[in-house]
Amino acid sequence: MSEAKGRRLGARIARPHGVLGVLLLAAGLAGCRAGPPRDAPVSLSSDTDGPDTRLTLEAAPDFRISVRPAPALELVGGTVLRFAGTALTTDSAYFAEPPTALLPGHHSRVHGTLRASVCQDNEQICRSVKLEL
């Protein structure tokens, strides 16, 4: 195992509460590029997988990652990596285990735009998450 095992890449976004929360979140993200908030519905980690880097998208407690649309990471050069997993919930709507994507080569940092749809366990409506890494 390499030193990259379990390294957090810090992909996080805050949980908005209601319409006001969404508006405040949007305003805060538009004016701030210092880094993602700590209290987030998803996180991204990396592990070495042979000559490549395996990216894993994990949901925070009480959140689920929706299968549709499939989570994706658009790299700076325009390449799009789609996250996938074989274990789904019984209704096939959510990942039962964290989805992964394989990034060719060894990378200690990832730069790009992560897009995913997440749902809080007690809610029926998912929300889109867009993170600049």
Run of H or E residues at 18:
helix 18-31
- Residue range 7-132, CATH number: 2.60.40
From the list 15, 12, 89, 102, the residue with the least C-alpha distance to 56 is 102
Query: Could you give the dihedral angle defined by the CA atoms of residues 42, 43, 44 and 48, in that order, rounded to the nearest 10 degrees?
Result: -130
**Per-residue pLDDT tens digits for 36-80:** 556 778 999 999 999 999 999 999 999 999 999 999 999 999 999
**Per-residue pLDDT tens digits for 76-130:** 999 999 999 999 999 999 999 999 999 999 998 899 999 999 999 999 899 999 9
Q: Is 28 in contact with 53 (CB distance < 8 Å)?
A: no
User: Where in the chain are the domains?
Assistant: 7-132
Range 12-26 average pLDDT: 42
Q: Which of the listed ranges 11-15, 31-35, 118-122 does the model predict with the highest average pLDDT?
A: 118-122
